[in-house]
Amino acid sequence: MVDIASRVYNHHWKIDPIVRSLIDTDFYKLLMAQSVFRNRPDTQVTFSLINRTTAIPLAELIDEGELREQLDHIRTLSLSRGESTWLRGNTFYGKRQMFRPDFMEWFEGLRLPPYHLERVGDQYELTFEGNWPEVMMWEIPALAVLMELRSRAVLKEMGKFELQVLYARAMTKLWEKVETLREVEAVRIADFGTRRRHSFLWQDWCVQAMVEGLGEKFVGTSNCLIAKNRDLEAIGTNAHELPMVYAALAGSDEELAEAPYKVLADWHEEHEGNLRIILPDTYGTRGFLDNAPDWLAGWTGIRIDSGDPAEGAEIAIDWWRARGEDPTQKMVIFSDGLDVDKIVELQAKFAGRVRPSFGWGTLLTNDFRGLTPEDSLAPFSLVCKAVEAEGRPTVKLSDNPRKAMGPEDEVARYKRVFGVGEQVAREVVV
C-alpha cells in the first residue's frame, strides 16, 4: 500500500536536502571545535573552498540557485535533542562526557554563520568568515553539498533502470573491495569518507556493507550521524587546521616554529589514549619529528596523510626507536588517498612492526570511477581550508608539494623556518 501521508508530506519539500543534521560531519570537527572553543574561541578565520581538480567546471555543472538553497538549508539546522543526548551520553574512545557541558551548550545554540558565494569563470568562490568555532563547522557540509550536487547534476540525465544499474555496479565494486579486505588478517579499517562522498545515502550504504562484510575489521566511521544511526564507533582525532591557524597567529619565526607543538600541547591536556595521534605533515614530517619534544613520542600513534605512506611510517618507526619507544605498540593511521591495493600492501608491510590502521576516505564512499561515460562521476579533489586567521594568510606545506597552499613568500618563509628541503611531488588522487 502507498503511504499517502508520507507521499503528501513529501510534496512540501522545496528541495531534497543534502545535509540534514549538524552532526552529519566528521567526529574530529567536534573534538577540534571543543578545543578551539576552549582555547581560541574569538579567533577570526576565513575558510575557503578550493577545487584542486580545475578540469571539473563546478559552476557549469551546478546551478547557483540550487547551491544556495542547499547552503541556506544548512543554516537552518540546529542540534536536535536526540543528537545532543547522543553526544552528551555516549562513550567515545572509552571515555564518558567527552564533550563538556559548556561546549554542549554552545553547540546546542549554534547556527552556521553566513557564507559568501560568487561565480568566477567556471568555478565557485565560496568562503566563510567569522569566529573560528562556528566557521570551522562549515567545512564538511560545504564539501558534501558540492560533491553531491555534482553527482546529482550527472545523475539527472539518467533513466530509472540505468540509475539502478549504476548503483548496482557501484555496490558490486565496493563489495569486491570488501571481499578482498576481509581476507586480510587483523586489518583495521574506518570510514573517513564523509567530505568527498558521492552522496549521504551512498555513504550510509557503504558503511553498512562494511559492517556486514568486514565484521570486527571495520572499526567505525568518522561520520557522527551515521555512527549514531547505525550504533557504531565515531572515529577521529585532529586535522591540519589546528597547526595552520596556530601558525598563522604566530608573531615571530620562533613562535611559528613552536606553533605545531603548542597545538599538541593543548591537545595533550585534553585527551588521552587513542585520541593522542600525531599529525606530523603540516610543515614536513621529518623536521616536525626531529624537533618534537620528548613527551610527544609517548603518544599513542601517528597519522600519515601525505607523501609516500611507507616512507612516512618508516620515518616514524625510526623516530620512536631513537626516542626509546617500542614501535610495535604504536598505532600508525594511514589516511591519504587509500584504496584496497594500498591497504593490503601497507598492512603486509607494517603488521607486527607497528599497529597499522586505515582511514579509508574518498575511494570508499565515492568510487564511481569507470561507471559512467567520460567518467563523469569520478571523484575529484575538493577541499575547504582555513585560508586566513586574524587577517594573516595560512600556509600548509605537507609532504607532497602538490598539496601545499598559501602565498608564495609565506610558503618560502615556512620552508625556511621548518627546514623543509626538496620534496617529491606525488599525484593527488582525491
Binding site for its own copies (CB under 8 A): 1-3, 5-6, 159-162, 164-165, 167-169, 171-172, 175, 208-209, 212-213
3-state secondary structure of 390: coil
**Rg of the chain over all Cα atoms, to the nearest angstrom:** 21
Look at strands 277-278 and 301-304 and give their pairing.
Answer: parallel
In the complex with its own copies, the residue whose CB is nearer, 106 or 175, is 175
In the complex with its own copies, the residue whose CB is nearer, 9 or 295, is 9
CB 187, min distance to its own copies, A: 18
CB 377, min distance to its own copies, A: 15
Look at strands 331-334 and 355-360 and give their pairing.
Answer: parallel
Look at strands 331-334 and 277-278 and give their pairing.
Answer: unpaired
CB 205, min distance to its own copies, A: 8
CB 172, min distance to its own copies, A: 5
CB 207, min distance to its own copies, A: 11
Report which of 84, 92, 144 is spatially closest to residue 110, judged by C-alpha positions.
Answer: 84
- Going by the DSSP 8-state scheme, the letter that residue 307 receives in this structure is S
User: What's the Cα-to-Cα distance from 20 to each of 200, 231, 265, rounded to whole Å?
Assistant: 10, 18, 35
CB 221, min distance to its own copies, A: 15
Angle separating helix axes 253-270 and 27-39, nearest 10 degrees: 110
In the complex with its own copies, the residue whose CB is nearer, 13 or 55, is 13
CB 177, min distance to its own copies, A: 11
In the complex with its own copies, the residue whose CB is nearer, 12 or 160, is 160
Instruction: Determine the Cα–Cα distance for residues 196 and 149; give it in Å rounded to an integer.
Output: 11
Report which of 236, 275, 220, 269 is spatially closest to residue 29, judged by C-alpha positions.
Answer: 236
Decide if 224 contacts 207 (C-beta within 8 A): no
Q: What is the DSSP string of 141-178?
A: HHHHHHHHHHHHHHHTTS-HHHHHHHHHHHHHHHHHHH
Instruction: Determine the Cα–Cα distance for residues 397 and 258; give it in Å rounded to an integer.
Output: 16
Residue 108: Cβ within 10 Å count: 16
CB 3, min distance to its own copies, A: 5
Report which of 305, 277, 288 is spatially closest to residue 247, judged by C-alpha positions.
Answer: 288
CB 210, min distance to its own copies, A: 9
In the complex with its own copies, the residue whose CB is nearer, 264 or 371, is 371
Instruction: Determine the Cα–Cα distance for residues 138 and 136; give it in Å rounded to an integer.
Output: 5
CB 314, min distance to its own copies, A: 37
> Which residues of 166-319 form beta strands (DSSP E)?
189-191, 218-221, 277-278, 301-304
In the complex with its own copies, the residue whose CB is nearer, 90 or 208, is 208
The position carrying cell 574561541 is 41
In the complex with its own copies, the residue whose CB is nearer, 6 or 252, is 6
In the complex with its own copies, the residue whose CB is nearer, 72 or 212, is 212
In the complex with its own copies, the residue whose CB is nearer, 158 or 265, is 158
CB 211, min distance to its own copies, A: 8
In the complex with its own copies, the residue whose CB is nearer, 217 or 396, is 217
Q: Which residues contact 401 (CB under 8 A, 6 or more apart)?
A: 423, 425
In the complex with its own copies, the residue whose CB is nearer, 106 or 205, is 205
Instruction: Determine the Cα–Cα distance for residues 218 and 212; give it in Å rounded to an integer.
Output: 9
Angle separating helix axes 241-249 and 27-39, nearest 10 degrees: 20
